Amino acid sequence: MPLLMVVMMTRFFGKNSSWSEGFSIVPFTIFGGLAFTVPYTLAGLFLGPEFPSLFGALIGLGLVTLAAKNGFLVPKDTWDFDDPTKWPKEWFGTITIDKSHLDNGKSMAVWLAWLPYLLVALFLLLSRLPQLPIKNVLTSFTFNWTHILDTGITATTTPLYLPGTIIIVVVVITYFLHNMKFTEIKSALAESGMMIIGAGFVLIFTVPMVRIYINSGINELGISSMPIAMAEWVAVNVGLIWPLFAPLIGALGAFIAGSNTVSNLMFSMFQFGVAKSLMISGSVVVALQSVGAAAGNMVAIHNVVAASATVGLLGREGETLKRTILPTIYYLIVSGILGWLFINLFDIGDPLLQ
């Protein structure tokens, strides 16, 4: 993926429009991929499923930055964009950055700028480790809604254990660590609040849809839930080649809902049902669902619109989609092939059943 990103940049945004101009960075991009995936895998094996994306990204970023700074595997030749005066007009957004309001000469130490992110990682780690009592304390405070609308469905949440709560705590700590003014924290909250409202508006409709989908098996007629019925159809009509298509379903869910999480909520049970019907590894098939959903974020309309608004490119989402669809297709094809090999060639099963 890092290599594909580089060659796409040289192809679509270089003055020579060349794929090959990016190939000299192959060693560094392979290192960059490993710098993320190795810590990611180790975090999953030794810390649990909640930590890989967090520590993989943080450690990978540190390793790649350090390597680039010291010239490790960095190619001798250089590449840069053409002169801005020669850029196509569609490259320019409507937003300009005004730095006049910033305090001249005011700077912040690098470690202090990174400290909030490290605190989030630390607090998440401490609250999730089963060896520590913190998790039991945070999860002891719960909100329960039993027998919702006389359906027999019960919902439970642990607000103190949610990652969002930890982030809010770190925001408060950062206010004092960075010696922020009230107007600065107010501005930051207002800006981030508008982004949250935009994402939350979509969730108002997607979350109820997901819950109805998941709980559709609770009915007086004893009819199977929607994911189970879908899984049975797929098992009969598609068969053992399903791992090739499993990531596509995840991507489709993210494309529609604009969220990796919502896609997984919608289709994980369906994917597991297919695996169970085909008697293949449920863990691998659900993993393919998650990988596909992550890839689908690149073409999710909600994300594309949000990103376009951020850089002042509203109305040009089609141009963005024409670029992001390429790595998405690559991601889905390769992950599907790997999943099929894991199941049919390497005979990888479910860890808890072995």
Q: What is the pLDDT of residues 181-195, one digit of tens each?
A: 888 888 888 888 876
* pLDDT at residue 204, rounded to an integer: 74
Number of neighbouring beta carbons within 10 Å of residue 190 = 9
The C-alpha angle 132, 135, 140, rounded to 5 degrees, equals 135
* pLDDT at residue 149, rounded to an integer: 78
Domain boundary among 78, 105, 120: 78
* pLDDT at residue 199, rounded to an integer: 60
Report residue 337's pLDDT band, with 50, 70 and 90 as the boundaries. very high
Report residue 145's pLDDT band, with 50, 70 and 90 as the boundaries. confident
Could you tell me which of 6, 135, 158 has the C-alpha nearest to residue 77? 6
Domain boundary among 63, 78, 93: 78
153 in a structural domain: no
* pLDDT at residue 340, rounded to an integer: 93
107 in a structural domain: no
The answer to whether 199 and 302 have CB atoms below 8 angstroms apart is yes
pLDDT, averaged across the chain:
84
Q: DSSP letter for 223, please.
A: P
**C-alpha span between 28 and 68 (Å, rounded):** 9
pLDDT over threshold 80, residue 260:
yes
> Distances from the Cα of 259 to the Cαs of 32, 250, 341, in angstroms?
26, 10, 28
Report residue 129's pLDDT band, with 50, 70 and 90 as the boundaries. confident
130 in a structural domain: no
Report residue 338's pLDDT band, with 50, 70 and 90 as the boundaries. very high
Q: Phi, psi (5° rounding) for residue 237?
A: -95, -20
119 in a structural domain: no
294 in a structural domain: yes
Q: Which residue has the higher pLDDT, 246 or 98?
A: 246
345 in a structural domain: yes
Q: What would the mean pLDDT of 31-52 be, rounded to a whole number?
A: 88
| Cα four-point dihedral sign 247, 253, 256, 259 | negative
- Tally of domains within the chain: 2
Range of the domain at 38: 1-78
Tokens of 116: 């909030």
SS (H, E, C) 76-135: CCCCCCCCHHHCCHHHCCCCCCCCCCCCCCCCCCHHHHHHHHHHHHHHHHHHHCCCCCHH
pLDDT over threshold 60, residue 354:
no
174 in a structural domain: no
* pLDDT at residue 247, rounded to an integer: 92
Domain boundary among 78, 100, 117: 78
108 in a structural domain: no
